[in-house]
Amino acid sequence: MSSMDIVDYQIFGADSQYVEIELDPGEAAVGEAGAMLYMEQDIVMETIFGDGSASTQAQGFFGKLMKAGGRLVTGESLFTTVYMHQGKMWKRKVAFAAPYQGQIVPMPLNQLGGELICQRDSFLCAAKGVSLSIAFQKKIGTGLFGGEGFIMQRLQGDGLAFIHAGGSLIERTLRPGEKLRVDTGCLAALMPSVDYDIEYVGGLKTAFFGGEGLFFASLTGPGKVWLQSLPLSRLANRIVRAAPGGTGETSVLGGLGSFFGDN
């Protein structure tokens, strides 16, 4: 028997989207507390330790603690909020909104091999039963220069998850061995079968005049990748640079901090 809840949903809006999830009595969805837009009556919001997936419920206290610790590292809150329809009848709706302009993408994990790795802040919500954990990049180059890609979020299960992509979404299927170079921030999600590496592009001239595109994420198939045309970091960068007194320069320590901290 599948542990996930069958979820009906509808995505509204053009530039600034939100997703409305329809829950049958007893069904539930998980989402970051800050992403909830509205919920109808009978839906009870409960904050739980962990992510509410069957695997966390089965684990002992230490298992939960480890997983919660992992969520701390990814910058997510320690607790997940579960939105459960506790009524006896009727369908009820809960809606989650995208944090900024972009697209909400439904990700049916059962059709994607049961696992997806996404950018930390890309995850929006999921059917209860999707497990959330961290996907830690162990390759040193990726760790140092991958920016946001250093610590990503792993979604596992066979339910439906919703990803938010800043700007426009580009979905690409890479053939075995096919390579695609992407700005590190523009990578929204990828299948675990995709090889993810950081490549230094260009010589000294690029280094001095090329701006931010010094290091690219090099993605090698097979597998699907999802790209976002407007990552939050790029948007923030422009705003900081435009702000009075903002220089946008970073020190070595600042650079180090940026992949541990928020982006």
Partner 1 sequence: MSTNQVVVRGRFYSPANPAQGEAITAYSEASDLVIAALQNNGADLRLPLVALKPRYGGFNREQVYFDWKSAQGEACSVCFSAKDAELLMAQAQATATQPYQQVRREQTKRKRRSTIGLGLLALYLILPFLLLLILLWKSHQIAAWVAGYVSIEQEQALGEMVFANATDGMKLRQTGYDYEVLKSIGERLTQGSVYDYHWYLADTEEINAFAVPGGYVVANTGLLKAADSAEEVAGVLAHEVQHVEQRHTLEDIIYSLGWQASIALIAGDVSSLWITQAATQLTSLKFSRELETEADIKGLEALHKANIAPQGLVTFFEKLAESEEGLDSLTFLSTHPASDQRSANLKKAIQQQTNWTTLALPYDWPKVKAAVEQNKHTIK
Binding site for partner 1 (CB under 8 A): 111-113, 117, 135, 137-140, 143-144, 173-178, 190-196, 220-224, 256
Toward partner 1, which CB reaches closer, 22 or 195? 195
**Beta-strand relationship, 151-156 and 115-118:** antiparallel
Least Cβ distance, residue 142 to partner 1 (angstroms): 9
Check residue 175 and report its DSSP letter: P
Least Cβ distance, residue 78 to partner 1 (angstroms): 23
- From residue 143, alpha-carbon distances to 76, 165, 253, 262 in Å are 19, 22, 14, 15
Least Cβ distance, residue 259 to partner 1 (angstroms): 11
Toward partner 1, which CB reaches closer, 56 or 137? 137
Toward partner 1, which CB reaches closer, 118 or 127? 118
Least Cβ distance, residue 14 to partner 1 (angstroms): 27
Least Cβ distance, residue 227 to partner 1 (angstroms): 15
- From residue 151, alpha-carbon distances to 126, 196, 200 in Å are 20, 12, 19
Sheet of strand 131-136, all strands in order from the earlier edge strand to the far edge:
131-136, 151-156, 115-118, 187-190, 223-228, 169-174
**ω before 108 within 30° of 0 (cis)?**
no
Toward partner 1, which CB reaches closer, 45 or 140? 140
Toward partner 1, which CB reaches closer, 181 or 241? 181
Cβ contact 121:231 at 8 Å = no
